[in-house]
Amino acid sequence: MPQATASIATHCPYCALQCAMTLTPGPELSVGPREFPTNGAGMCQKGWSSATVLTAPDRLTRPLLRGNGGELVPVSWEIALDHVAATLRDLQDAHGKDAVAVFGGGGLTNEKAYQLGKFARVALGTRFVDYNGRFCMSSAAAGANRAFGLDRGLPFPVTDLAGADAILLLGSNPAETMPPFVRHLDAVRGRGGLIVVDPRRSATAALCGDGAGRHLAPRPGTDLALLLGLLHVLLAEGWTDRDYLTARVEGFEEVAASVSVWWPERVEQVCGVPTTDLRAAARCLAGAAPAAGGAGAFILTGRGVEQSSQGSATVTAAINCALALGLPGRVGSGYGALTGQGNGQGGREHGQKADQLPGYRSIEDPVAREHVARIWGVPADSLPGKGVPAVDLLSRLGRDDGPRALLVHGSNVVVSAPDADRVRERLRSLDLLVVCDVVPSETAILADVVLPVTQWAEEEGTMTNLEGRILRRRKAIDAPGEARSELWIWAELARRFGAGGTWETDPALVFDELARASSGGVADYSGASHARLDESENAGRGCYWPIPGAGGEGGGGDDAALGTSRTFLDAFPRAGGRARAVAVAYREPADNLRPGAPVYLTTGRVLHHYQSGAQTRRVPELLAAAPEPHVALHPALAEIHEIADGDLVAVTTARGTAYARARITADQRPDTLFMPFHWAGLGSANRLTSDRTDPVSGMPDFKVCAASIARVTAPVPALEALP
Ligand code: SF4
């Protein structure tokens, strides 16, 4: 493997904390942590072992085309791309532009996310483009956009958390998913102010012990009712910030009236959370709020409450509580959503969403269309309209009115999408499936064409972390074999399509174009460039969006930062400058308990794996630590079903059955199973999850469905076997 000569400063390829690290080339690429405000000098095991994926034994190094015998066989780039272009053109000639769809990912660099949206709209002319961030951040995005007019996961530096007297953390388990983040909770734990809401006693919930705070364990799917009750208590006790509400919020009267029926006893009945715990949580938050003279308070949400068919309403309820306490737009307080995927923030800003153009612009806004079309060098009326969210897109594949071909970039939907068996069926029904990946993921092995791409240490680019800080990803080594960047692949395909405009392949130039396209948008990057980001990061400074051109210095009250480290300090970016409180209503989980399905199933992540596991299952030390799927269940539930620890069990929902090893633990509620979703095959948790979606965000119901569990006595195939 050709090597660079000096150590390279970059960031982790995995989660949105984007821990700073240094890569040192040698016989093997060595990885070490680097001091940075987000991670101190910490990293988790995934980060330490991240170089292993680069040299995975089955790393894709040549384009593959499915031959007549049904096998994927190596071919030249010329043959692969000619085949893709010709097949797509034939399908579009026969069925129209929307016969082709594109599916992106929240792990793609900003440059790739931008170019993917442009490729779909300009080269392919299809409206069918969306991405796996729909499964991740869409409910948080919908709630924040509606309330604040801007969606930046943390609209403040993560280091602000250390100054707070109270933090309410809903549906997030950073102690497992991003361990270095926990350092930011140390101070509030020392003040006894950490409140964790999670049906499980997760590793993060366990941090509340010994006087560090309080763990509330609601029945799955009832987080929204809990938040309505919390606001009820704040109002009933007179703990709201009336001056702030008058000056900075609209619509709060209706919200206040809507929660009048959510008295604590009713909340206890619905959620199973004792009234004393609810009142104590409210008191803790209110005492920490600036209006009460506290040092500050934060309310943070994660996928546990967002990945639900009422996820956007739940986020809205959390924001309503934050507004009631006067937190957003105040230094040292606020509301935020903890982004999951590595570029889960930037990936949702630059146009790979079905309804979006770069700069977080709406594709239905005529002014935005004109602006972006001008940058792209095409007529505005040539751009397609709004597409459909990911779950809807996947369900249309291969149907009469749906796309006949799909290009997948940076996503393993066969494992990560809900109702995964149905997704596999849809993929199999396509005339052409093209997958760009670094390894033969479970989605790639279904493809007609597999294109090997560069990743992480092999490429230049930018990622935007969970606090909206734009970070440089730097190249340390050359990619193996014939792997190429998606930027090159899209340029080559665009040329074959005779697409208008220019198709840069240098990430710095693509960023410059992205910056111009984003100029004046909500997510404005026009004051940034690779060179400026390098300079900023080398100086230990941050660079946050919005960072408008012609200066962009020092917004948000942080002199050390470029751009805007804290948003909303003066006003919310909405007409009139005020935030909007929105009344929301609770309803029971769509797939609720019933005879034959007497327990809830929740899904999530474990310490040693990342998302679909396509990368971390290829790292021997991570696989050794967590080699196979498991189902966590309470001892009382295990006793009822005569299940012993380590037994093979079958979990069944309305979608199907999955198999896993039982892990018996009192950290579970007796009515709730937990299954991580990192595995494919018969152990895939997403064979069980529902594809019912949130009406506002399109987020699927990953986090709650009704299930049954039974010990398996008959032999079953290996858990990784594909059905
Ligand atoms: S996976 Fe996340 S927490 Fe772990 S090292 Fe990478 S960025 Fe940091």
- 47 in ligand 1 pocket by Cβ < 6 Å? yes
In a mutational test of the pocket of ligand 1, which residue from 15, 177, 204 has the highest number of ligand atoms less than 8 Å from its CB?
15
* Residue nearest to ligand 1 atom 3, measured at CA: 178
Helix (H) or strand (E) holding 394: helix 390-396
> What's the average model confidence in pLDDT over 366-393?
97
Q: How far apart are CA 180 and CA 417, in angstroms?
A: 28
Q: Are 407 and 131 in contact (CB under 8 A)?
A: no
In the numeric block, which tokens belong to residue 131? 């991405």
Indicate the SS3 state at residue 547. Answer: coil
Confidence check: pLDDT of 138 > 80: yes
Peptide bond preceding 546 in cis form (omega within 30 of 0) = yes
**What pLDDT digit, counting tens, does each position of 457-467 carry?**
999 999 999 99
**What pLDDT digit, counting tens, does each position of 69-94 carry?**
999 999 999 999 999 999 999 999 99
Helix (H) or strand (E) holding 436: strand 432-437
Percent of the chain with pLDDT over 70: 97
Maximum separation of any 2 CA atoms in the chain, in Å: 73
Reported as half-sphere exposure (CB side, CA atoms, 13 A), residue 676 has a value of 23
In a mutational test of the pocket of ligand 1, which residue from 19, 36, 339, 606 has the highest number of ligand atoms less than 8 Å from its CB?
19
Atom of ligand 1 nearest to the CA of 17: 7
- 18 in ligand 1 pocket by Cβ < 6 Å? yes
- For the chain, give percent helix, strand, coil, nearest 5: 35, 20, 45
* Residue whose C-alpha is closest to residue 196's, from 179, 212, 176: 212
In the chain, which residues fall in CATH 3.40.228.10?
138-338
- 12 in ligand 1 pocket by Cβ < 6 Å? yes
Architecture of the domain spanning 138-338 = 3-Layer(aba) Sandwich (3.40)
Atom of ligand 1 nearest to the CA of 33: 5
pLDDT score recorded for residue 557: 44
| Ligand 1: centre distance to CA 578 (Å) | 36
> What's the average model confidence in pLDDT over 672-694?
94
Q: How far apart are CA 422 and CA 405, in angstroms?
A: 17
Q: How far apart are CA 639 and CA 666, in angstroms?
A: 12
CA distance to 110, 431, 610, per residue, from 342 (Å)? 11, 32, 10
- Block residue for tokens 């049954």: 708
pLDDT score recorded for residue 539: 80
3-state SS string for 351-369: CCCCCEECCCEECCCHHHH
pLDDT confidence tier of residue 554, bands split at 50, 70 and 90: very low
Cα 634 from chain centre: 29
* Residue whose C-alpha is closest to residue 78's, from 451, 443, 479, 485: 451
- Region of 192 (left: φ > 0; alpha: ψ -120 to 50; beta: rest) is left
Strand partners, 270: none
Confidence check: pLDDT of 555 > 60: no
| Ligand 1: centre distance to CA 484 (Å) | 25
Contacts of 49 by beta carbon, 8 Å cutoff, 6+ apart: 31, 619, 621, 622
pLDDT score recorded for residue 80: 98
- 285 in ligand 1 pocket by Cβ < 6 Å? no
- 180 in ligand 1 pocket by Cβ < 6 Å? yes
- 391 in ligand 1 pocket by Cβ < 6 Å? no
Q: Are 240 and 248 in contact (CB under 8 A)?
A: no
Q: How far apart are CA 155 and CA 565, in angstroms?
A: 7
Q: Are 404 and 100 in contact (CB under 8 A)?
A: yes
Q: Calculate the dihedral angle through the C-alpha atoms of 679, 660, 390, 371, rounding to the nearest 10 degrees.
A: -40
Confidence check: pLDDT of 133 > 90: no
Lowest mean pLDDT, pick from 253-257, 467-471, 546-550, 699-703: 546-550
Q: How far apart are CA 47 and CA 174, in angstroms?
A: 15
Confidence check: pLDDT of 558 > 70: no
**What pLDDT digit, counting tens, does each position of 193-225 carry?**
999 999 999 999 999 999 999 999 999 999 999
Q: How far apart are CA 473 and CA 61, in angstroms?
A: 22
Cα 168 from chain centre: 20
Q: What CATH code is assigned to 64-135+343-563?
A: 3.40.50.740
Confidence check: pLDDT of 257 > 80: yes
Q: Which amino acid is at 240?
A: T
**CATH top class, domain 599-711:** mainly beta
Q: For the stretch 19-38, what's the b/e string if a residue is b when 16 or more beta carbons lie within 10 angstroms of its beta carbon?
A: bbbebebeeebebebbebbb
* Residue whose C-alpha is closest to residue 648's, from 677, 682, 621: 682
Q: For the stretch 632-649, what's the b/e string if a residue is b when 16 or more beta carbons lie within 10 angstroms of its beta carbon?
A: bbbeebbeeeebeeebbb
- 42 in ligand 1 pocket by Cβ < 6 Å? no
Q: How far apart are CA 578 and CA 89, in angstroms?
A: 48
- 178 in ligand 1 pocket by Cβ < 6 Å? yes
Lowest mean pLDDT, pick from 593-602, 657-666, 714-723: 714-723
Q: How far apart are CA 145 and CA 132, in angstroms?
A: 19
Q: Are 216 and 196 in contact (CB under 8 A)?
A: yes
Residue 271 phi/psi, 5° resolution? -100, -25
- Region of 306 (left: φ > 0; alpha: ψ -120 to 50; beta: rest) is alpha
- 15 in ligand 1 pocket by Cβ < 6 Å? yes
CA distance to 68, 84, 347, 439, 549, per residue, from 73 (Å)? 10, 15, 32, 15, 48
Q: Are 527 and 551 in contact (CB under 8 A)?
A: yes
In the chain, which residues fall in CATH 3.40.50.740?
64-135+343-563
**What pLDDT digit, counting tens, does each position of 613-665 carry?**
999 999 999 999 999 999 999 999 999 999 999 999 999 999 999 999 999 99
Strand partners, 3: 477
Atom of ligand 1 nearest to the CA of 179: 3
Architecture of the domain spanning 8-55 = Single Sheet (2.20)
DSSP code of residue 407: E
| Ligand 1: centre distance to CA 40 (Å) | 12
Reported as half-sphere exposure (CB side, CA atoms, 13 A), residue 269 has a value of 6
- 31 in ligand 1 pocket by Cβ < 6 Å? no
- Region of 474 (left: φ > 0; alpha: ψ -120 to 50; beta: rest) is beta
- Count of residues in the chain: 723
- 561 in ligand 1 pocket by Cβ < 6 Å? no
Query: Residue 240 burial by CB count (10 A; 0-12/13-18/19+): exposed, middle or buried?
Result: buried
In a mutational test of the pocket of ligand 1, which residue from 39, 43, 605 has the highest number of ligand atoms less than 8 Å from its CB?
43
> What's the average model confidence in pLDDT over 2-11?
75
What is the Cα gyration radius of the chain?
Answer: 24
In the chain, which residues fall in CATH 2.40.40.20?
599-711
**What pLDDT digit, counting tens, does each position of 307-354 carry?**
999 999 999 999 999 999 999 999 999 999 999 889 999 999 999 999
pLDDT confidence tier of residue 251, bands split at 50, 70 and 90: very high
Mean of per-residue pLDDT scores for the chain? 94
**What pLDDT digit, counting tens, does each position of 171-196 carry?**
999 999 999 999 999 999 999 999 99
In the numeric block, which tokens belong to residue 450? 């597999």
